[in-house]
């Protein structure tokens, strides 16, 4: 066998959904089986989700799984005596996070090891919106705004290039069966590469690169935390049945490659964002153009909205840092004070941190809710679409790009400008 054939065989092995299913079983995941149920795999739907085929239900636009689920096959009860499950009732759980845009819900599954279930559920959240919208502000408001800004710059690059690669390569998610899908929120996206793995690699590694030498701490501590972080996120995506081993390895290597190329320029980009007079105009135009380009790569999926969301957040944070720098609200420590020492935790300092997080997150949440409501309504009127069917409207390219970009642009602007202004006026700077 030639080297090329061996490499092809290795890639096929790493992409095999049976490997994912084996890892799930090793970690205690079981799919409830119905006696007498047909074990054949559902038909593929457009090459994107080989494990699911959606059919209308009722007329309300909802989607349901075709085949057997919870004792029902295609709307009819399963054969009598057919509820024999490998997982006992107390060990059954429902799939994580229903997707409001597609109507998909996770299938029921069994869990034999709840510790691993909660550990990997936490790991996958390290690559989701809730984590980003709390972690980045925490760094910018409480720890080191410079590190926070530059971390966001590289995160935007990594996530944008990863999302675009998915829609160019167009590999489907691992097939189910044999894989048990514990999460369906991102099931409408393609699989290669794993952007969770990219984010889980880029964020901790970038933090080590940006903070070591700037802050006083042992390098080994940073490397151990980064390794554990990356491993937890990557393994969680296999555990949840969302990616093959090859997807994870490709995401990891792709993130390393992007950081290698762009990290040397992150200081230049950050200084440009803050200092150059016309940088907000260039930032907004560039991020919007990248969003339009990514929306033309493929048909609708949650990947498109996430891309616009990432670009909008990055543009808002960059523009906010420019305004804050111009008016002198946020200033970085002098180079003479480096390296910085980790301050001791006092009651007063801890109280201020908690107040910043509480007040700031409430502000961001209100901004997100208000802007989302306003922009979807205005975009529907602007592009002549009825706003009574929000799900359909949010899948329209013009509306989705507009409301995601503007809404999260304002959230980003709030993180680096509006909320720091609020802190300044109430004495929490």
Taking residues 199-218, report their average pLDDT: 91
Catalytic positions: 196, 243
| In the predicted structure, residue 341 carries a pLDDT above the cut 90 | no
Q: Could you tell me the two tokens for 305? A: 């909205």
What pLDDT does 319 receive?
93
Give the DSSP H/E element, type plus range, for residue 111. Answer: strand 109-111
Q: Could you tell me the two tokens for 391? A: 């799900």
Taking residues 171-182, report their average pLDDT: 80
DSSP string spanning 283-302? Answer: HHHHHHHHHHHHHTSSS--H
Pick the range with the lowest mean pLDDT from 75-79, 226-230, 272-276, 393-397: 75-79
What pLDDT does 51 receive?
42
- CA distances to 138, 238, 375 from 213, rounded to whole Å, are 21, 35, 43
Write out pLDDT tens, residues 25-49: 888 877 755 333 443 433 333 344 4
What pLDDT does 330 receive?
72
| In the predicted structure, residue 272 carries a pLDDT above the cut 70 | yes
- CB hemisphere CA count around 417 (13 angstroms): 20
∠54-55-57 over CA atoms, to 5°? 125
Identify the residue with better confidence: 4 or 311.
Answer: 311
Identify the residue with better confidence: 229 or 98.
Answer: 229
| In the predicted structure, residue 87 carries a pLDDT above the cut 60 | no
* DSSP-H helix ranges across 111-218: 114-125, 129-138, 145-169, 195-211
Write out pLDDT tens, residues 122-157: 998 888 888 999 999 999 988 888 999 999 999 999
Taking residues 342-371, report their average pLDDT: 89
The crossing angle, in degrees rounded to 10, of helices 219-239 and 114-125 is 110
Taking residues 104-118, report their average pLDDT: 76
Task: Express as a percent the part of the chain with pLDDT over 90.
Answer: 31
Domain segments of the chain: what residues? 122-344
What pLDDT does 33 receive?
55
Q: Among positive and negative, which fits the CA dihedral 28, 32, 37, 38?
A: negative
Identify the residue with better confidence: 169 or 152.
Answer: 152
**DSSP helix/strand/coil, 76:** strand
The residue written with tokens 């490709």 in the block is 250
């Amino acid at each position: 066998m030639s080297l090329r054939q061996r490499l092809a065989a290795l890639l096929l092995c790493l992409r095999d959904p049976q490997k994912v299913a084996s890892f799930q079983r090793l970690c205690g995941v079981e799919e409830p089986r119905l006696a007498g149920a047909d074990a054949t795999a559902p038909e593929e739907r457009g090459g994107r989700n080989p494990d699911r085929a959606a059919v209308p239900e009722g007329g309300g636009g909802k989607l349901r799984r075709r085949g057997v689920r919870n004792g029902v096959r295609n709307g009819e009860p399963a054969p009598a005596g057919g509820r024999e499950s490998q997982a006992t009732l107390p060990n059954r759980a429902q799939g994580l996070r229903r997707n409001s845009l597609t109507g998909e819900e996770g299938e029921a599954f069994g869990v034999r090891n709840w510790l691993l279930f909660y550990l990997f559920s936490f790991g996958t959240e390290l690559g989701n919106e809730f984590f980003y919208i709390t972690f980045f502000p925490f760094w910018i408001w409480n720890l080191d705004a410079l590190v926070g800004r530059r971390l966001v710059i590289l995160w935007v690059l990594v996530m944008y290039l990863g999302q675009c690669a998915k829609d160019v390569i167009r590999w489907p998610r691992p097939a189910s069966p044999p894989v048990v899908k514990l999460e369906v929120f991102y099931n409408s996206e393609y699989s290669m590469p794993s952007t969770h793995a990219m984010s889980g690699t880029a964020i901790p590694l970038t933090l080590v690169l940006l903070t070591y030498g700037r802050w006083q701490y042992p390098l080994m501590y940073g490397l151990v935390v980064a390794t554990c972080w990356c491993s937890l996120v990557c393994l969680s995506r296999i555990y949840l049945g969302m990616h093959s081993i090859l997807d994870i390895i490709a995401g990891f290597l792709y993130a390393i490659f992007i950081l290698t190329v762009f990290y040397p320029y992150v200081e230049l980009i950050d200084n440009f964002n803050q200092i150059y007079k016309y940088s907000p105009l260039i930032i907004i135009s560039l991020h919007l153009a990248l969003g339009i380009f990514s929306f033309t790569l493929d048909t609708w999926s949650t990947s498109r909205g996430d891309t616009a969301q990432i670009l909008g957040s990055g543009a808002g944070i960059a523009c906010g840092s420019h305004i804050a720098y111009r008016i002198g609200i946020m200033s970085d420590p002098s180079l003479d004070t480096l390296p910085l020492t980790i301050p001791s935790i006092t009651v007063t300092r801890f109280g201020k941190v908690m107040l910043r997080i509480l007040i700031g997150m409430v502000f961001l949440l209100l901004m997100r809710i208000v802007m989302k409501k306003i922009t979807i309504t205005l975009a529907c009127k602007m592009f002549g679409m009825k706003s009574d069917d929000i799900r359909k409207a949010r899948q329209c390219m013009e509306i989705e790009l507009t409301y995601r970009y503007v809404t999260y642009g304002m959230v980003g602007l709030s993180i680096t400008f509006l909320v720091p202004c609020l802190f300044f006026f109430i004495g929490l700077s």
